[in-house]
Amino acid sequence: MPAPQAVPAALPQERRLVTAIPGPKSRELMARKSAAVADGVGTVMPVFAARAGGGVIEDVDGNSLIDFGSGIAVTSVGSSAEAVVRRAAAQLADFTHTCFMVTPYEGYVAVCEELARLTPGGHAKKSALFNSGAEAVENAVKIARVATGRQAVVVFDHGYHGRTNLTMALTAKNMPYKQGFGPFAPEVYRMPLAYPYRWPTGPERCAEEAAAQVTDLIDKQVGAGNVAAIVIEPVLGEGGFIVPAPGFLPRIAAYARAHGIVFVADEIQSGFCRTGRWFACEHEGVVPDLVTTAKGIAGGLPLAAVTGRAELMDAAHTGGLGGTYGGNPVACAAALGAIETMRELDLNARARRIEEVVRDRLGALREACPAIGDLRGRGAMMAVELVRPGTKEPDPRAAAALAASCHAQGLVVLTCGTYGNVLRFLPPLVIGEDLLREGLDILGGALARQ
């Protein structure tokens, strides 16, 4: 079998601007989009993709953009990794679908075996596959409820878990995710998060104080015995790339264990090498009862999973879990190709190297730029939080202006955060170091002009 190649030879790994951004063909397509696609479906950049791979996205006008977004943390192996394309294409030619619940196929089982090997903990594990992250989170809650016979679900400030009815209820941020879309699912309780930069008494005591508040609130307001699951992102994604203060996750996991609560790590954004480990929980030695995955799992094809303790996963009656497309064979083949690529190219090491380069460059910028309130993240999941200089007041306008300036120069960056004031950097883990540095230079220039 040929070694997987992350970067297609036919796609030059360079930034190249041949028109204004967006170019004329993208403008034409945007006009068609406006007429045919619901306005509720927004785009970060009005630029239409033609090809993508490695660290670049080539648009329909022939511009080549540096990708610091990975399609929202999805294409960690690039958008056209050789092993993903080869395995998915072979599967596509064999069959596209039978429905695993009708006549099963090996790829689904092989993905579940990989998930059992790769997720934290040496216990017996099983998995079930779905189509999207939100669907995985919904199913984790179903499993926790049926296994415990309890109903309440505990989530956190700044958390993001999806856009379906239950996951909107689990998600913290109103605009744009929830506004006007209620009523939301009941029995969801939101707790304070150990957010070091914004913790009132400072970062030192943040983990301890936040954990004490959480356990006290659960005891007093919910009753630990009523809680089916605690659902948390080990590094928060849409809520602002917040790394909970060290010690917070282990404390919450220990509390869950002591009270028979299912501890669910939502690793949909942070999993699969993104933070320099297979799963972000590993940074603190936390072993979750259930792990939800999606995004990076399948090199861009839609696939999601719930993986966890076999006795929990087996609590649902036969036929209680599933879905027509869940674990589609082409998506499973792509996942096996993505995992092969992650192993062979040691993408955990690549993510750690990306963190070094980003910290080095942005750390220096931070000294010179008082608008950068915080620089944080793990691995290739890094961000800067922008504030009004001399304060901690969030500055979403600065984030939007910086993003727009980067976009105009051919760098794809995304914003996030409860206050919309965080610029996040999620390059494909296979990006070349020269492109990474060029992207950071563009960002540095934009910050200097702020």
Ligand X SMILES: *Cc1c(COP(=O)(O)O)cnc(C)c1O
Minimum CB separation of residue 334 from ligand X in Å reads: 15
Question: Distance between CA atoms of 175 and 186, rounded to whole angstroms?
Answer: 20
Of the candidates 182, 149, 180, 150, the one whose C-alpha atom is nearest the C-alpha of residue 166 is 182
Handedness of CA 315, 318, 322, 326 (dihedral sign): positive
Minimum CB separation of residue 258 from ligand X in Å reads: 25
Handedness of CA 325, 53, 412, 389 (dihedral sign): positive
Strands, sheet with 411-412, edge to edge from the N-terminal-most edge strand: 49-53, 56-59, 64-67, 411-412
Q: Which is nearer to ligand X, 11 or 128 (CB)?
A: 128
Q: Which is nearer to ligand X, 294 or 362 (CB)?
A: 294
Minimum CB separation of residue 233 from ligand X in Å reads: 5
Q: Which is nearer to ligand X, 48 or 130 (CB)?
A: 130
Residues 100 and 358: beta-carbon distance below 8 Å:
no
Minimum CB separation of residue 56 from ligand X in Å reads: 23
| Contact between 133 and ligand X per CB under 6 A | yes
Q: Which is nearer to ligand X, 176 or 260 (CB)?
A: 176
DSSP, res 219: I
Minimum CB separation of residue 73 from ligand X in Å reads: 7
**Options 129-137, 221-229, 275-283, 314-322: segment touching ligand X (CB under 6 A):** 129-137
Q: Which is nearer to ligand X, 261 or 294 (CB)?
A: 294
According to CB under 6 A, which residues from 91 to 120 bind ligand X? Answer: none
Quick one: CA torsion of 421, 419, 134, 377, rounded to 10 degrees?
50
Phi, psi angles (nearest 5°) of residue 108: -60, -45
Instruction: Collect all residues with Cβ–Cβ distance below 8 Å to 357 and sequence separation of at least 6.
Output: 433, 436, 437, 440
Minimum CB separation of residue 27 from ligand X in Å reads: 28
**Options 12-20, 54-62, 155-163, 418-426: segment touching ligand X (CB under 6 A):** 155-163
Q: Which is nearer to ligand X, 293 or 341 (CB)?
A: 293
Q: Which is nearer to ligand X, 55 or 302 (CB)?
A: 302
Which segments of 256-387 are extended strands (E)? 262-266, 290-293, 304-309, 372-378, 381-386
Token pair for 269:
């954004």
Residues 433 and 357: beta-carbon distance below 8 Å:
yes
Rule CB under 6 A: choose which of 7, 88, 134, 440 binds ligand X: 134
- Residue number with the shortest CB distance to ligand X? 133
Minimum CB separation of residue 302 from ligand X in Å reads: 7
Handedness of CA 248, 249, 250, 252 (dihedral sign): positive
| Contact between 132 and ligand X per CB under 6 A | yes
| Contact between 75 and ligand X per CB under 6 A | no
Question: Distance between CA atoms of 139 and 304, rounded to whole angstroms?
Answer: 11
Handedness of CA 98, 104, 105, 107 (dihedral sign): positive
Q: Which is nearer to ligand X, 269 or 409 (CB)?
A: 269
Minimum CB separation of residue 356 from ligand X in Å reads: 24
According to CB under 6 A, which residues from 225 to 284 bind ligand X? Answer: 233, 237-238, 266, 268-269
Minimum CB separation of residue 170 from ligand X in Å reads: 9
Helix (H) or strand (E) holding 338: helix 329-344
Minimum CB separation of residue 136 from ligand X in Å reads: 8
| Contact between 166 and ligand X per CB under 6 A | no
Angstrom CA distances, 10 to 7, 82, 222, 447, stand at 9, 12, 57, 33
Q: Which is nearer to ligand X, 107 or 239 (CB)?
A: 239
Q: Which is nearer to ligand X, 21 or 166 (CB)?
A: 166
**Options 156-164, 199-207, 306-314, 332-340: segment touching ligand X (CB under 6 A):** 156-164
According to CB under 6 A, which residues from 290 to 309 bind ligand X? Answer: 294-295
Partners of 16 in the β-ladder: 64
| Contact between 379 and ligand X per CB under 6 A | no
The burial class, CB within 10 Å (0-12 / 13-18 / 19+), for 95 is exposed
| Contact between 137 and ligand X per CB under 6 A | yes
Question: Distance between CA atoms of 206 and 212, rounded to whole angstroms?
Answer: 10
Q: Which is nearer to ligand X, 295 or 350 (CB)?
A: 295
Token pair for 442:
């563009």
| Contact between 161 and ligand X per CB under 6 A | yes
Minimum CB separation of residue 275 from ligand X in Å reads: 12
| Contact between 327 and ligand X per CB under 6 A | no
- Interface positions with ligand X (CB under 6 A): 132-134, 137, 160-162, 233, 237-238, 266, 268-269, 294-295
